[in-house]
Amino acid sequence: MKIVVVHGSPRKGNTYKATELFKKEMQSQGEIECVDFFLPKDMPEFCRGCMTCFIKGEEKCPHADYTMPILDQMVLADALIFTTPVFALSLSGCMKSFLDHFAFIFIVHRARSEMFEKKTFIISSTVGAGAKSAMKTISTSLKYWGVNRVYTYNFATFGDEWDNLKLDKKNKIEKQIKQKASTFYKEVASGKLHSPYLHIRIMYSISKFILKKYTDEDSLDKKYWIEKGWYTGEKNPFKA
Ligand SMILES: Cc1cc2nc3c(=O)[nH]c(=O)nc-3n(C[C@H](O)[C@H](O)[C@H](O)COP(=O)(O)O)c2cc1C
């Protein structure tokens, strides 16, 4: 099983340690191959808002040397894990910047067919507040990429570093992480696809409607949808 992990912080702190435990538990269930990307090192640029990915193609993005190898790995993976500490009641800036670079794979643009089969997991740590909003931003992007399922786990440290957590608190977090990792491993290994999220199916229909209204025949999005057979309805990414 191949897993891509995108770490939303360079710090090997609470989030990283929880993620390592998660990976270790998955590994105990069966063989996994992990490809780790660390932000901001592996995606050190902010999106410039030039629209090049949408208009001229993602390979022409000024940061394509960073984005394309990551996308290639994500497409190949069986599952994706995204992590973030909570910063200012939300996700880390480098994780947001990472997600900004992949807006071109939103369903309305040029979603990758492989994403429709992906199981994904988000891990977040906080002193006490903001995890829900941090994970929601990541989850929304992933759903708009078309992924099959998004699972989450967050924990509060109340200000302690991982190694200084009170023993009963730490035991509880470790137990929860192991449980989540084991369930996630089984879920990915099963290969079972769930019904697509309803609002994503609706979004897909709206996207098709929008694209039909495009008069610009050179639109990359429109060409992509035609090529995929989604434009005419001959093919459907949810029933690949
Ligand atoms: C710049 C910054 C902003 C933070 N903002 C919040 C916050 O809004 N709410 C919160 O509960 N914790 C906040 N924290 C605490 C971290 O989310 C928490 O300590 C987390 O476990 C750190 O993860 P790490 O050890 O993986 O870096 C903040 C930490 C930093 C550095």
DSSP, residue by residue, 162-191 = GGGS-HHHHHHHHHHHHHHHHHHHHHHHH-
Q: What is the CATH number of the domain that holds 19?
A: 3.40.50.360
83 strand-pairing partners? 7, 123
Mean pLDDT confidence for 32-48: 98
From residue 165, alpha-carbon distances to 51, 171, 174, 197 in Å are 45, 9, 11, 37
In a domain, 206, yes or no: no
pLDDT over threshold 90, residue 65: yes
In a domain, 200, yes or no: no
Q: Whose Cα sits closest to atom 28 in ligand 1?
A: 87
In a domain, 201, yes or no: no
Q: What pLDDT does residue 198 have? A: 96
**Ligand 1 atom at shortest distance from the alpha carbon of 157:** 21
User: Which of the listed residues 6, 15, 22, 127 should we mutate to test ligand 1's pocket, taking the one with most ligand atoms within 8 A of CB?
Assistant: 127
| Closest to 14 (Cα-Cα) out of 176, 175, 161, 174 | 161
In a domain, 205, yes or no: no
Q: What pLDDT does residue 214 have? A: 87
Measured between alpha carbons, how far is 71 from 76 in angstroms, rounded to an integer?
9
In a domain, 176, yes or no: yes
Work out how many domains the chain is built from and give that number: 1
Q: How many CB atoms lie within 10 A of CB 226?
A: 15
In a domain, 237, yes or no: no
Which residue segment(s) compose the domain that 103 sits in?
2-194
